[in-house]
Amino acid sequence: MTASRPPAGTLSRAAALALLSLYDGVGHIAYPVLSLLHRRRARLGKEDPARRGERFGAASQPRPEGDLVWVHAASVGETNAVMPVVRALTDRGLKVVLTSGTVTSAKTAAERLPDGALHQYVPYDLSGGVAAFLDYWRPAVVMLVESEIWPATFRAVKRRGLPLAILNGRMSPKSTSGWLKARALAQTLFGLVDVCLARSEEDAENYRSLGVRDVRVVGDLKFESPVPDADPAALEDFRRWIDGRPIWLAASTHPGEEEVVAEVHRRLRDEHPGLLTLLAPRHPNRSGEIRVVLEGRGLNVAVRSRHDLPGPETDVYLADTIGEMGLFYRLSPIVFMGGSFMSAGGHNPLEPAFCGAAILTGPGFANQQDVYDRLIAEKGTLVVHGAEDLAETLSELLHNPRHAAEVAAAAGRTAHDGQGAVSRTMDALSALLPRNGAA
């Protein structure tokens, strides 16, 4: 179902261009404010103070020789999704600078980037910083993942005559309706995009309505995200420590969902003696506040980042490290995907699907709508509505491991059947890419 179309806005193209110029002008005076904001975010663990210059366009690494592609992915999910494309680009002899905006995505990139690719933090969308970035790295092509729409960046790219592509294009009906309230602005901005490779026909139609001329449906790159690794020795150790206890994982949780997890554990621990809850927050830097929430409800908590071991008395094991989700997905036969009870829009369920887990989700998964629609239709995901429903569904799966295994098998089949987007993406990009990686 496509978005309802509001009446066209009254903004003229000339007014749209004036607004974009004003946006650039405001950016010039925003540096002091952003500098203060960066310091504050760094104190909260949300920015890397040692790499502050990157956020203002200053490079921290030398540019490699040869043709280079700039790929931007907002955070961890997008970084994982685009990694197979990055590998395909480097396999063609191209260099890649991958940018992202979060500390966790930077760590993910450091672990997964192939030879020939490097990571930088994305510059703030200020014309000066973006210009400095482009002038230093001199990309041949610029690719943005999903719904990263940045006016100063778009305009700076096109001033240099560079091709601009959107990969794994996602555009919700709500966002589309919002953009269409200023139709001339949307068409001026989206008209700068050379090609949009959309996840689904709905996304494609939404991008077309906003003014992108060349839109193609290639499928969802998330179906080809690398399956997260697990250290075999750590996996064997954890299985020995857990020693047959009933177990489930709440993954990528957001504020407010940890309270639900605590309530579910308390409801089920008498019915399922020895129950162990694994909890992996979306943002591991929240570990301290989450531990306070859990212990305040009378739960015994062990913490991965402190090198705690899950003992017989442990109720909740707080998995607050980065790069170990493959371990925790493989430990648990049942995974609840967070961000789906709050307003975060859900998170990618394909990693646990590939790792052999039965998947549960709340109803709020708009950011992963197409993936969940397919999983739900194939009975590879169960939707739960609140703590009571989650507790009842989880209890049934723990009592009936055969049912859990059937849900997990359906999720795995659906995940494998959705593959193919990387080859279609590379075919669609071939006209934009340099012919080879030579300088």
User: Could you give the residue numbers annotated as active site?
Assistant: 78
The angle at the Cα of 415, spanning 384 to 209, to the nearest 5 degrees, equals: 85
User: Distance between CA atoms of 261 and 341, rounded to whole angstroms?
Assistant: 11
Residues 333, 247: Cα–Cα separation, whole Å? 7
Residue that has been written with the tokens 């305009």 in this structure? 155
**Residue 214 CB contacts under 8 Å (≥ 6 apart), including other chains:** 193, 194, 195, 196
SS3 312: coil
- Tell me, rounded to whole angstroms, the distance of Cα 13 from its chain centroid: 34
Contacting residues for 50 by C-beta, under 8 A, at least 6 apart = none
Give the C-alpha separation, 24 to 22, whole Å.
Answer: 5
* C-alpha–C-alpha distance, residues 57 and 126, integer Å: 9
Separation CA 34–CA 29 (nearest Å): 10
Question: Which of 147, 165, 154, 149 is closest to 131 using CA atoms?
Answer: 154
Any residues with CB less than 8 A from the CB of 307 and at least 6 apart, and which? Answer: none
- Residue labelled with tokens 């310091």: 39
Q: Dihedral sign, CA of 34, 36, 42, 48? A: positive
Instruction: Give the separation between CA 386 and CA 383, rounded to whole angstroms.
Output: 10
Q: Which residue has the tokens 């098998």?
A: 409
SS3 call for 117: strand
